[in-house]
Amino acid sequence: MNKVVCIGESLIDFMPVQGKTLAFEAKAGGAPANVCAGVSRLGGKGYYLGRLSSDMFSRFLIDKMQKNGVNTDYVVIDDNHPTALAFVALNDKGDREFSFYRNDTCDLAFDESDVKEEIFDEGDALHFCSVGLVESHSKYAHIKAIKTAIANGCIVSFDVNIRANLWQRLQDCVDTVLEFCSYPDIIKVSEDELITLTGIEQETEAIQKLWQYASRCKMIFVTKGAQGCAAYDREMNCKTAAIVKSKVVDTTGAGDCFSASILYNMVYRKVKPTVDEIGKALDFAMRACAVVVAGYGAMESMPALEQVITKE
């Protein structure tokens, strides 16, 4: 059985306690770790690749990942750097605002030496996000992992996942994301991120510009909140899917659930990144996201396969 390896940060999301000012509850988070848990909860094999601290926060994260079926064999324990923390505020629609505490943390110390050649087998997938691409050891560990995965015949997936306040300048983030768009087989971007990357508000024009940077890419996915999602191939053929209505409690993790769903369909259901086949994966992802937004916190709200199937 092939595996989905997710590389990058795992951190604590401190979620607000309803009705209390500046009171927070710790939840396991970090986009790559969330995707890893999402794949595992659906019945796949999610492997987390990254550095975690020996502090109490990382011990909490490892415990939560393992309880959600994530394989942590590729975790490197770092005694010298703390865990990254994120404090989350929610508005009345369940949308988020983040405050990050991420100075010289363990995820940024993730090193090329932590990436072993034997990790990747043909048919596996590697998933990465932009948060780990800031100028640090982590950026170059990502490059090694991506190139190794490509050389070993793996699917490479990139969730743009822009967090502007983690970069010194937004333009640095944009330039780095566009540089890394040359690597993946599939790219996932939100409609707002698409505008940020291209400077173009019209969706199809923006996608056409993004293709100029995405030389290996076969499909670009655009997530659009209440407007559902779309998938484009290089010929600009498009497949869309509508949301599945759900009571929205917390949108944290919805994008990660989408990525996990697409990867699960591509790796385990053998759905190809073509407009003829991708529709079934998009519908699956919309059902899965309807489950996750009805929960609180990202990782522990990821749906099991039977929860997605019952929404068919």
For the segment 228-272, what is each residue's pLDDT rounded down to a tens digit? 999 999 999 999 999 999 988 888 899 999 999 999 999 999 999
For the ranges 256-265, 268-277, 288-297, the lowest mean pLDDT is seen at: 288-297
Helix axes 203-211, 191-198, angle to 10 degrees: 60
Statement: residue 20 has pLDDT above 90: no
Mean pLDDT of 224-228: 94
Residue 91: the pLDDT is: 74
Residue in 74, 71, 1, 48 with CA at minimum distance from that of residue 264: 1
pLDDT at 16: 87
pLDDT in the model for residue 93: 67
Per-residue pLDDT at 312: 58
Strand 229-233 to strand 96-101: parallel, antiparallel, or no bridges (unpaired)? unpaired
Rounded distance between C-alpha atoms, residue 256 and residue 42, angstroms:
13
Instruction: Identify the H or E element spanning 28.
Output: strand 24-29
Residue 156 has pLDDT above 80, yes or no: yes
Distance CA(205)–CA(288), nearest Å, equals 29
- Kindly report which listed range (13-22, 173-182, 185-194, 195-204) carries the lowest average pLDDT score: 13-22
What is the average pLDDT across 162-168? 93
CA torsion 264→156→83→105, rounded to 10°?
Answer: -170
Least confident stretch, 19-23, 108-112, 146-150, 236-240: 19-23
Q: Are the CB atoms for 108 and 136 separated by under 8 Å?
A: yes
Give backbone dihedrals phi and psi of 72, rounded to 5 degrees, phi first. -110, 20
Evaluate if residue 96 carries a pLDDT over 80: no
Three-state SS for 46-92 is EEEEEEEECCHHHHHHHHHHHHCCCECCCEEEECCCCCCEEEEEECC
At 171 the three-state DSSP class reads helix
* Single-letter residue type at 222: V
pLDDT of residue 6 exceeding 70: yes
Write down all domains in the chain, each with its CATH number in brackets.
4-307 (3.40.1190.20)
Cα angle 186, 85, 140 (rounded to 5 degrees) comes to 45
Whether 100 and 165 have beta carbons less than 8 Å apart is answered as yes
What average pLDDT is seen over the chain? 95
Residue 44 has pLDDT above 90, yes or no: yes
User: What percent of the chain clears pLDDT 90, i.e. is strictly above it?
Assistant: 88
Q: What is the pTM of this model?
A: 0.95
pLDDT band (50, 70, 90) for residue 94 = low
The arithmetic mean of pLDDT across residues 297-301, rounded, is 88
> Can you give the length of the chain in residues?
312
Q: Which helix (H) or strand (E) holds 88?
A: strand 85-90
Instruction: Assign 22 a pLDDT band (cuts: 50, 70, 90).
Output: confident
Is the pLDDT at 78 greater than 70, yes or no? yes
- List, edge to edge, every strand of the sheet that includes 11-16: 24-29, 11-16, 85-90, 96-101
Of 42-46, 270-274, 291-295, the one with minimum mean pLDDT is 291-295
**Average confidence (pLDDT) over 27-31:** 94
| pLDDT higher than 80, residue 102 | yes
